[in-house]
Amino acid sequence: MAACLRFLLICLVTCVARATDDPLASAIGHAKAHPQGDVPASFVAADYRGDLRDLPIGVFDSGVGGLTVLEALKAHDRHHNVTGADGADGVPDFAGERFVYFGDQANMPYGNYSAVGRTDFLRELILRDALFLLGRRQARGDKPPVKAIVIACNTATAYGLEDLRAAVKAWGIPVIVVGVVEAGAQGLAETAEGAQGGVAVLATVGTCASNAYPKAIAKVTGRPVRQLGSASLAAAIEGDPSVKTPIRDIIRADVGAFLKSAAADDAAPIDTLMLGCTHYPLVADEIAAAFAYWREQSDASGRKPYATLVAPKLKQVNPAAWTAESLWRSLRGAQMMAVARPKGGDQFFLSVANPAWKGVGLAADGTLTYEYKYGRSPGQVGREDTLNVPMTAEALPGATAGLVRERLPLTWRSLQGAR
């Protein structure tokens, strides 16, 4: 009898261990066990009972690339604000809303986690990002909870959208969750405008590895898709000091390698570019220039090998604008648009390495080392090897700040006024 009991106990412990090894199960259990929001990665359950309409909208990304999505939200004007009818009325559709933005810069780029076999840890990071937005805790004070979460990161959408929707359902909170990949594919289908050739999806290595865009595009159109995954472009746009190659040179080399491979496979002619990383709209002109450059290049025989592979004029699809439309439809349908004028401005946060966390690996510049960042395993939803602190315009690297200032004016103005 004792032996049987010991066996049953071992089986029970093993089953529990396996359940809690799963990032989704761990995150659901962690938040449920702390309904007062008093520990990391938790929220105040009572905040989600009652009228949520005047709560802000949460937006998160692995860094600052998601600011392109925030810009799209701020600029979106496709409906009459009073009646909801189609057609711009000169007033942004989200004019009555405020936003809380979070960039997990300490742990970026997310696109590299799958390449080193850390997909489950990436899933945990994504759930932690959402829990931060849902909760009130941040390193230097409080923040408001949110009524909707926009995953403004293609890799995070690919690996975490279904987890987050399942978690929200398990927690029993009426929070809307929108991701950029589905929205981008829908945008491609709704704005073809004569472009029926091949689609080049430009994204991180991780997003490409997930095949999220080919799957999503296949649901709405039968157009051929080919992916271009870059291992360093997003980090370069973030101003990562470990990336020494100039942004233009990274793009030109990536596009050249992509076209060489496509030509060898006799790929369909490309006439549409899907900007499948939220950082890439910041360098959309440079991307277009790289394709134009390679289209005109001649080989040793004087032939232009890519002239028929790349259309003279490429259509670009930016999923950010379609994410804004998807969010508007979801909030309007759920009758969750704000009813009062927003009090206070938008809030912005970034993660930074926490030197006080036991065993944290820090580089000379105070960031997480590559070995530490990509060597972690899931199982500590409440870990605090990074801290979430207010983001300011002054905290952005010079090149990144310049891109935001020049190409995202509405967000730049809001960021300057943030506290």
CA distance 165 to 121: 18
Which of 11, 15, 208, 277 is flagged as catalytic?
277
CA distance 199 to 224: 6
The structure tokens listed for 352 are: 């930074």
- The question of whether 11 is a catalytic residue gets the answer no
Q: In 10 A of CB 244, how many CB atoms?
A: 8
229 and 204 in contact (C-beta within 8 Å)?
A: yes
Burial of 256 (0-12, 13-18, 19+ CB in 10 A): middle
Which of 4, 15, 153, 208 is flagged as catalytic?
153
Sequence-distant contacts of 29-32: CB under 8 A, at least 24 apart: 30/381, 30/382, 31/131, 31/167, 31/171, 32/170, 32/171
Helix orientation angle between 180-190 and 212-220, rounded to the nearest 10 degrees: 40
Max alpha carbon distance in the chain (Å)?
85
Tokens 């905290």 sit at which residue?
Answer: 395
CA distance 127 to 160: 7
- What share of residues in the chain are helix, strand, coil (percent, to 5)? 45, 15, 40
99 and 143 in contact (C-beta within 8 Å)?
A: no
> What is the per-residue DSSP string for 182-224?
HHHHHHHHHT-TT--SEEEEEEEHHHHHHTHHHHHHHHH----
Which is it for the CA torsion 358, 362, 367, 372, positive or negative? negative
225 and 217 in contact (C-beta within 8 Å)?
A: yes
- The question of whether 153 is a catalytic residue gets the answer yes
Residues serving a catalytic function are 153, 277
